[in-house]
Amino acid sequence: MLYHIEESTKFTPDRHHTELVADFPEGRLAVFSLEPGQIVDGHQAPARVLMYVVLGRGELVVGDEVLAVKPGDMANVDPYVTHGMRASEERFVVMAVIIRM
């Protein structure tokens, strides 16, 4: 199956948009679209999460670290580690691959 990430990218002025692109027994693929200044609050999951920056610049929060990121960067989040994200001064798109453990 072929996925077109840009088709899953939607921006809303009030809050970030999350699009569930795929859901399999082994995991999920989600796309987060953020307008400048929007955030995804820190949360935990019983899964490994790979966060890949598709568009824009921002910050990925992984545990106690705040990582300044740009397109092409990816963060690996271990299960039960708090993670979130924040858009800087431009639109920010992150693809998250969630691998169930």
Domain count across the chain: 1
pLDDT of residue 99: 98
Contacts of 65 (CB under 8 A, 6+ apart): none
pLDDT of residue 95: 98
**CATH (domain of 96):** 2.60.120.10
Domain region containing 82 = 5-100
Sequence length of the chain is 101
Q: How far is CA 47 from CA 6, 39, 50, 86, in A?
A: 25, 21, 10, 21
What are the pLDDT digits (tens) for 10-67?
999 999 999 999 999 999 999 999 999 999 999 999 999 999 999 999 999 999 999 9
